[in-house]
Structure formats: structure tokens, C-alpha cells
């Protein structure tokens, strides 16, 4: 045998051995860090009642990219803006779909919506439609008359309640009712009868509570029979049946309504959608099922998120009297003696805007955004991520990341002065409305609802805590659940302010 070959054998063997070792090591490295699991349930028990807080704590031990096993489902949890940036830049479309579960199937009206629909042509067309015809800045502007009317009712109610009893008003309840009524009106118009309003509010309530319902099938497909046994299946079927009947009662008997605003016809969402059904230039056939899905999205994705943010804003104002004064001074300056702040003035309210930004940095109302799922295998941080891995982004943790925010736990709106940081999805460490192709299309819509309500609540009233309650008594913990509203209800004493 060739002596060179003989001499090469041990060298080649050595290299093969090295290669094998490196491969074994790289396979070891390829396992995304993961907290220890329990048999069967995996890491489900570690989610706790406030998952964004539990996941933040877990990420401190296991790192910014963790793999959890939630029942039968692999779930990647990202707690670092850098990793989200990598995912969005390289794999936004790979992770563009939502996990399909029994619950999301029902909420999406059988995949005919935007928020829970799988990625594809249907979702793309619906999102485009919502952006162009329902939530565009032009459309949002055209509905300012509805906001002004509902806001006047809220302010009247506050004034009315103040004059009764001990002067304490249940502000959380009032804000919830204001946002619900306003968004309902924007969707359906002002024509619906009291009887239909009651049906509608039952439906809104059922839809929002259903979001918190856990089905066995959604975590353990083999245990779907338990949903039947526990009556959850029946509950879901009743919900969809009642929902469809409510829609039929409201939509089918609906009378077209439009209002002339500044010489242009302004229509509520339902009228716009019914008009679009007859519009051949739309590019696709808008069915009754699509309309149902879109309207459900506006209820589920729009009402609680907007209300929770407004409630956090009022809470932070009361906790920070100096900031309340700054907001008030700014309002007085731009109002020029007017009783109410109009939407045309919002652009001048620099302090109010940075104040709201600081609120959503610390209290994003969808702290874990909405889960996504991979459509194919991909790589993140050098790890191989298989198809059908769920992705959860902890945006709540981003707002508290010391590498991006100075003294992150401090409430300091001034940090946004002289800074271009915004929540529109470009700054990966500030993404309360999400990021990438699944970003929230309702951002402008909700911000104007929040800004105009906050401006007028502060302009028209001086707010204080009821006697015997101090700022230290204000608990800042969130409710359990998907939407992060404040657990403690806000009860305050308003006194009508002197505008001049
Ligand atoms: C303060 C108020 C709001 C917040 C914080 C918020 C936040 C979010 C977040 C975090 C997502 C998921 C984004 C992602 O997966 O990356 C989302 C999606 C969505 N939001 Fe909002 N939202 C708000 C208001 C609204 C309003 C008022 C509407 C409509 C009237 C709306 C409609 C939607 C829809 C349709 C989606 C699904 C988008 C998709 O899957 O492509 N949102 N929102």
C-alpha cells in the first residue's frame, strides 16, 4: 500500500473524529435554551396568571431566546429586541401566520378575519381593505364628529356623577363604557335600537371573555374529548350560534346611514363594508362572512386595548401630579379659553403625546402581542427552528430593557423629547402595536380616541384621589389575561376646572 496513504490514515481518522465531535457539539448547541419541563404539560405551569411577567423572570435565567413546551406545542419566547429585529428582517414571512386553534377558529369566524386568520391571500386582502377603507388616517379623521359626540356624553356623565353623593366617580367603568360605545358606534352607526344595542353588548362581552378561555384541544389535541365532557364545546357552539344570529339581526335589517362632514359623506364601518360588497374594483368578493370577521376583529382587538391604555393614562396622571399640571398647562395654552379641546389642536400637544408614549412603554395593553407560527423551517440566532413552532414576543419586557432605556422603571415622559423613537414598528425595542407584516392596523384609530379623551378629561376637570386614599395605595399590577388592563379600578374625585 502506498506509504503516503498509510501515513494519512491516522490523520484522516483524527479529522473525522474531530468533525464528529464538532457535529455532536453543534447538535448540542442547536438546542434552544429551555427551562426544565414536567411530563405531559411541559412548561405550561410556568406561565402563571400574568404570563408576560412570568416569562420575563424565566428569561433572566434561561436567556432572551427560550424554547417552551406548552402542552403539545413548541413555543419560542423572545425577550430581546435584537432577536426580534433578526426575526423580522430575515423571517417575517416565515412567521407570518397565526397558530390555528379551536378558539381562534371561532374568533376569526372560520378564518375570515385579519387578526386570527392564517397568512395568505384572504388575510392580505382583508388587511389591505381595513387599512384603506376603515382605519386609514382619512377615515379616522372623517369620524371625528362621532368621537366629539360620545366624548361630550362622557364629560356630562362625569359632571353629573360628581354632583351626587360623595363626589367620587367610578372612572374605570366610565372609560370602559365610553370606548365600547364609541367603537360600537363607529362600526354600526347610531341607528340601532336599544334592543339591538343590548344584543350587541352581550355579544361584545362574550367575545372578549372567550379570548381568555383555555380549551384542552388547543394545548393537547388528543384530549379534545375533555372539552366535550366539561361543556366547553357546547359553550363555544352556543356562542357562535348566538353571534351569527346577532349579526343577522343587526346587519341584515340595517338601514344605510351617512353623515355629511365638511362637504363629504362620512360613513360608519358597516355602511362602508356593505358599499364595498357592490364595488367591482375591490379585487375580491367581500362576503357576509368577511364582514362578520372584520367586525369581530374590531371588537376583540380594538375595544379592550384602547380602554386599558386610557385607564393606565389616567392612573399615571393621578400618580404624578406634577405631570398632570404640565399636561393641564399645555392644554390651557393651546385652548385659548375654549371649554373643550378640538381634534385640530392635538398636533400642538407635545407633552401629552410623550406622556402617552411613556404610558404604553410601561403598560402595553397587548404585552405579548399576538402569537405567530412558522410556516417552514428557519434559523434564528444560529438555531434550527422547525416548521410549526409558535413565536411569542415579550414586548412588555422590551419596555424595561436597560440596554435601551435609561432607568427603565422610572416613569419619565421627557425621555421621548428630542428623540425619534416611535411605536410604529421601526424601533424594535418599542413595539406595543406589534411589528412586521402582522402589525396592528388600528394604531392611528386608537391613538386619536385616547388623545382626545385624555385631553378633555384633564382640561375640563381637576382630578384627585378620594379622601383617605394616597398615591401609595394605588396598585399598579395588571389583571390576569391576554389584555393587560389595570387590576384595581380607578375611582377619583373630579372638580370642574376653571378654563380661563
Ligand atoms: C391601544 C390600542 C391598541 C393596541 C395596543 C393594539 C395592539 C395590537 C397588537 C400588539 C397586535 C398584534 C401585532 C403583532 O402580532 O405583531 C394587534 C393586531 C391587530 N389590531 Fe390592534 N391594538 C390596538 C387597537 C386596535 C384597534 C382600535 C383596532 C381596530 C379598530 C385594532 C385592530 C387590530 C387588528 C385587526 C390586528 C391584527 C393584525 C394582523 O394580524 O395582521 N387594534 N394590535
Instruction: For residue 435, report the distance from its CA to the centre of ligand 1, in Å.
Output: 10
What pLDDT is recorded for position 212?
A: 65
Longest Cα–Cα distance of the chain, Å, equals 107
CA atoms of 91 and 102, how far apart (whole Å): 26
Per-residue pLDDT reduced to its tens digit, 278-288: 888 888 899 98
Instruction: For residue 477, report the distance from its CA to the centre of ligand 1, in Å.
Output: 22
Query: In this structure, which residue's CA is closest to atom 6 in ligand 1?
Result: 433
What pLDDT is recorded for position 22?
A: 42
Residue 10 has pLDDT above 50, yes or no: no
Q: Is 471 exposed, middle or buried (0-12, 13-18, 19+ CB in 10 A)?
A: exposed
To the nearest whole number, what is the mean pLDDT of the chain?
A: 89
**Which atom of ligand 1 is closest in space to residue 437's alpha carbon?**
41
Residue 18 has pLDDT above 60, yes or no: no
Instruction: For residue 270, report the distance from its CA to the centre of ligand 1, in Å.
Output: 19
Higher pLDDT among residues 281 and 6, named by residue: 281
**Which atom of ligand 1 is closest in space to residue 98's alpha carbon?**
40
Per-residue pLDDT reduced to its tens digit, 151-184: 999 999 999 988 887 799 999 999 999 999 999 8
Instruction: For residue 59, report the distance from its CA to the centre of ligand 1, in Å.
Output: 25
Complex ipTM over 0.85: yes
The share of the chain scoring above pLDDT 90, in percent, equals 67
Q: Is 440 annotated as a binding residue?
A: yes
Residues 302-324 have a mean pLDDT of 97
Per-residue pLDDT reduced to its tens digit, 195-246: 777 777 777 777 777 766 778 888 888 888 888 888 888 888 888 888 888 8
Report CA-CA distances (Å) from 168 to 160, 172, 464.
11, 12, 9
Report CA-CA distances (Å) from 45 to 51, 52, 60, 462.
10, 14, 18, 45
Residue 500 has pLDDT above 90, yes or no: no
CA atoms of 150 and 179, how far apart (whole Å): 9
**Which atom of ligand 1 is closest in space to residue 435's alpha carbon?**
16
Which residues have C-beta atoms less than 6 Å from ligand 1?
114-115, 127, 297-298, 301-302, 305-306, 309, 365-366, 369-370, 432-435, 438-442, 445-446
What pLDDT is recorded for position 179?
A: 95
Instruction: For residue 403, report the distance from its CA to the centre of ligand 1, in Å.
Output: 27
Residues 446-471 have a mean pLDDT of 97
Amino acid at each position: 500500500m502506498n506509504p503516503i496513504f498509510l501515513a494519512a490514515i491516522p490523520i484522516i481518522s483524527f479529522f473525522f473524529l474531530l468533525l464528529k465531535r464538532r457535529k455532536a457539539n453543534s447538535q448540542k448547541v442547536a438546542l434552544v435554551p429551555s427551562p426544565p419541563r414536567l411530563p405531559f404539560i411541559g412548561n405550561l405551569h410556568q406561565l402563571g396568571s400574568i404570563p408576560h411577567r412570568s416569562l420575563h423572570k424565566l428569561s433572566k435565567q434561561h436567556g432572551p431566546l427560550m424554547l417552551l413546551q406548552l402542552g403539545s406545542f413548541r413555543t419560542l419566547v423572545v425577550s430581546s429586541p435584537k432577536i426580534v429585529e433578526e426575526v423580522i428582517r430575515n423571517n417575517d414571512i416565515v412567521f407570518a401566520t397565526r397558530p390555528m386553534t379551536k378558539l381562534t377558529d371561532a374568533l376569526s369566524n372560520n378564518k375570515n378575519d385579519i387578526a386570527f386568520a392564517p397568512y395568505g391571500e384572504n388575510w392580505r386582502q382583508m388587511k389591505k381593505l381595513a387599512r384603506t377603507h376603515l382605519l386609514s388616517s382619512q377615515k379616522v379623521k372623517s369620524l371625528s364628529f362621532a368621537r366629539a359626540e360620545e366624548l361630550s356624553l362622557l364629560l356630562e356623565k362625569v359632571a353629573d356623577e360628581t354632583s351626587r353623593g360623595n363626589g367620587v366617580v367610578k372612572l374605570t367603568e366610565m372609560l370602559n363604557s365610553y370606548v365600547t360605545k364609541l367603537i360600537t358606534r363607529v362600526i354600526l352607526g347610531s341607528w340601532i335600537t336599544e334592543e339591538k344595542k343590548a344584543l350587541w353588548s352581550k355579544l361584545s362581552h362574550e367575545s372578549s371573555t372567550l379570548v381568555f378561555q383555555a380549551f384542552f384541544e388547543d394545548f393537547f389535541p388528543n384530549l379534545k374529548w375533555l372539552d366535550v365532557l366539561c361543556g366547553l364545546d357546547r359553550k363555544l357552539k352556543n356562542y357562535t350560534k348566538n353571534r351569527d344570529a346577532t349579526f343577522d339581526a343587526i346587519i341584515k335589517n340595517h338601514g344605510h346611514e351617512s353623515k355629511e362632514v365638511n362637504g363629504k359623506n362620512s360613513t360608519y364601518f358597516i355602511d362602508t363594508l356593505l358599499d364595498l360588497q357592490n364595488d367591482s374594483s375591490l379585487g375580491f368578493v367581500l362576503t357576509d362572512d368577511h364582514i362578520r370577521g372584520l367586525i369581530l376583529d374590531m371588537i376583540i382587538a380594538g375595544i379592550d386595548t384602547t380602554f386599558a391604555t386610557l385607564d393606565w393614562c389616567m392612573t399615571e396622571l393621578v400618580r404624578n401630579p406634577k405631570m398632570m399640571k404640565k399636561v393641564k398647562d399645555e392644554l390651557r395654552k393651546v385652548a385659548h379659553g375654549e371649554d373643550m379641546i378640538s381634534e385640530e389642536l392635538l398636533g400642538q400637544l407635545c407633552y401629552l403625546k410623550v406622556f402617552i408614549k411613556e404610558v404604553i412603554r410601561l403598560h402595553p395593553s397587548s404585552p405579548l402581542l399576538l402569537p405567530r407560527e412558522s410556516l417552514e423551517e428557519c434559523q434564528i440566532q444560529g438555531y434550527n427552528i422547525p416548521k410549526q413552532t409558535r413565536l411569542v414576543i415579550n414586548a412588555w419586557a422590551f419596555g424595561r430593557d436597560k440596554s435601551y432605556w435609561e432607568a427603565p422603571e422610572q416613569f419619565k415622559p421627557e425621555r421621548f423629547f428630542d428623540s425619534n423613537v416611535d411605536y410604529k414598528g421601526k424601533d424594535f425595542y418599542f413595539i406595543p402595536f406589534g411589528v412586521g407584516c402582522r402589525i396592528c392596523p388600528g394604531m392611528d384609530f386608537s391613538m386619536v380616541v385616547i388623545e382626545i379623551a385624555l385631553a378633555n378629561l384633564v382640561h375640563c376637570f381637576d382630578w384627585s384621589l378620594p379622601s383617605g386614599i394616597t398615591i401609595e395605595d394605588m396598585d399598579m399590577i395588571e389583571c390576569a389575561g391576554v389584555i393587560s388592563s389595570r387590576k384595581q379600578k380607578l375611582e377619583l374625585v373630579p372638580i370642574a376646572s376653571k378654563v380661563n
